Every structure is written in C-alpha cells, then in structure tokens.
A = this chain, B = another copy of it.
C-alpha cells in the first residue's frame, strides 16, 4: 500500500486527488494537509467525503510528512513547493507538484511570468515534466514530477503531433482556450461568485497568462525550435472542463486522411487520449469526471488553416488524474490504475 500525503488538500484539485485516491486500490491517503482548516474534519469541509474520510486536516510539516509517506502531492499556490523541497526530502519521498514551480526549465522565464523568485532552482533540471504521453519513460525514474497545468495539458496534447511532424507553421499558432470555473480555485473572490460567473463569458489574462511560456516551451521541444504563440483563456459558466480551439497555417500540403493517420500514430495506443471520429467535435461533457482528453481537427482548405480541438476535465487529466497517472508510473503500477473512470453524463 502506497502511503500518500497531500499538501493543499482543500482546494478543488486537492479534493479531486482525494476523490481519486479513495478509489485507488493501492493507495492510502494518510495526510490531509490544509493550512486553512487545521484540525477541522476533512469531511466537514467537503461533505461528499462524509463517512468516507474520517481524518482531520493537518498543517504542512514537510519533514514529518516525508517520514510518514511514500509520495507527496503538492496542490498549492506557486512558490510553496519550491520552498519546501530539499535533497533530504527527495531522498525520502517522491514528490508530484501540481503547481508551476518545476514546470519551466528556464528559471528567468518562470520568475518573469510568475513574478516571484524561485526558492530552489537547483531541482529544476532534475524535475520531469509529467505529461505522461510524452515523457513516460522519464516519469518512471523521477523523484520530482512537475505536473502540467490544465490549459497546458489540453493545448500540448492537441497540438503536439502536428508540431512534431512539421505539419503546421509554428509562427502562426493561436490557442483560444475555454475553462470551467473550478480552474479559478476555491478562494473567496467577488469575481468568482455565482452571480458574476453565471450567464457570462469573458477572456482574461489576454497575452499575459502564465500557462503561455509552459506551452511554448513544451511545443518548442517538439518543434526543435523556439515558438511564440498566442494563448487566450476564457472563463465559462460551468464547473469543469477545458476546451481548446487552436489554429495554425499548414506548413505543407496534406489531406485530412494523412492528418488523421498522424494523430492515430501518436495516440492510438494511448488509453487517455481519444482521437474522435471525423466530424465529431470534442465537447467537455463527454470527458467530465474522467482522465480522457478528446481530440479532433478540421482541415479548412479554403483558408489553408488547420483547426485543432481538444477537451479534458481540468480537475482530472488537467490536475489530479494526471498526478495519479504520474504516481502510477513512478511506482511501477499499471498506468491506468484507479483511473478507469467512465465520463459522467449529464
């Protein structure tokens, strides 16, 4: 039985981790960290866990935690994980960081986009970017995994095969992304009140959103060169789900069939990436509650552009599900263990 600790277990991603791990046959959660609710019954914060989780919330004592568990998930604001990790800790326990602290290899890029100083840049090189479909082998050997962002996972998986195979002109990439409101976190802010979000649609962080350099870096590896692109997130009046609509000029003449072959080549064997049948657009409802990313594309011969679309559940494949997938790999379990979740509809 793998013993797991969660720092930040009372955010939406942390709570989703609890939901998934409660249904994982090889894992026991022994530490429900939450600075805001220390000593409060976890099930009184999240009443869905009533009679399921009996534990109370605990403080973030990293040393004690490292001694008690096999794996730590940090579902916390930027900067916290970087401030807690150390060689000593990493020798004792595996860490899966759901924050952005170890996602970006160039520390100056991290510090510029996030506006904070990195507290442990010495571990950035070692950290593995935990997008399992792309870095599977490295994840298996990692002590420290940087779990990708929700927008990022959806964007990269949607574009990766086309970038990797040189199908699209990487100077023309535009990613228009739409997210459910759980992505905004559980903080008490006026902007996230029901009446402010409901019956509304808006863009935010236009040209400045922090997931931009993460997407650019990862797709840059695929392209073998630097990429600059536009990424625009939008807030949608729904709880869960990310939809990415991406646009790029074709770099060469291809048919829809050839494009489909490429997508299939990359994803046919991937359990958690489903390339839909021609003509079906990804929709967030069809992946809700599951670890799937649904992908498809439309070739617009009229304009010479490719429209690529992807959908996932931001709390599962975009956060907690991917973290469990990484954990499975790191501990030599079946990658899909605990993630055989049929999407829930409606």
Q: Which residues of A contact B (CB under 8 A)?
A: 12, 15, 19, 22-23, 44, 46-52, 172, 174, 176, 178, 180-182, 186, 188-190, 192-204, 206-207, 228-230, 232, 234, 236-241, 243, 245, 247, 274, 276-277, 280-290, 294, 298-300, 302-303, 305, 307, 309, 311, 340-346
Contact = CB atoms under 8 A, between A and B. Distances in A.
B241 A201 contact: yes
Contacts of A282: 202
A193 B201 contact: no
B236 A202 contact: no
B52 A342 contact: yes
27 contacts: A19-B342, A19-B345, A46-B286, A48-B286, A48-B290, A176-B176, A176-B232, A181-B193, A181-B195, A188-B189, A192-B195, A193-B194, A198-B238, A199-B239, A199-B284, A199-B285, A201-B284, A201-B311, A202-B243, A202-B283, A202-B285, A207-B307, A228-B302, A229-B303, A232-B245, A234-B243, A247-B247
Chain copies in the assembled complex: 4
Contact of A243 (B186, B201, B311): B201
Contacts of A49: 342
Interface centre among A44, A48, A307 (most CB of B within 10 A): A48
B23 A340 contact: yes
B230 A300 contact: yes
Contacts of A190: 186, 188
Given A200-B284, A247-B174, A48 B343 contact: yes
Contacts of A176: 176, 232, 245, 247
A41 to B, nearest CB: 9
A294 B247 contact: no
A260 B180 CA distance: 31
A281 to B, nearest CB: 5
Contact of A48 (B15, B22, B180, B287): B287
B230 A286 contact: no
Nearest to A309: B203
A294 B15 CA distance: 20
B238 A199 contact: yes
Given A48-B288, A199-B199, 13 more contacts: A19-B345, A44-B277, A47-B283, A50-B274, A50-B277, A172-B172, A176-B176, A178-B234, A198-B238, A206-B281, A230-B305, A232-B307, A239-B346
A47 B280 contact: yes
Interface centre among A195, A230, A281 (most CB of B within 10 A): A195
Contacts of A230: 247, 300, 303, 305, 307
Contacts of A236: 201, 236-237
Nearest to A46: B345
A330 to B, nearest CB: 23
Nearest to A196: B346
A328 to B, nearest CB: 18
A277 B236 CA distance: 23
Contacts of A287: 48
Given A176-B245, A195-B186, A230-B305, A201 B345 contact: no
A200 B240 contact: no
Given A52-B342, A230-B247, A192 B194 contact: yes
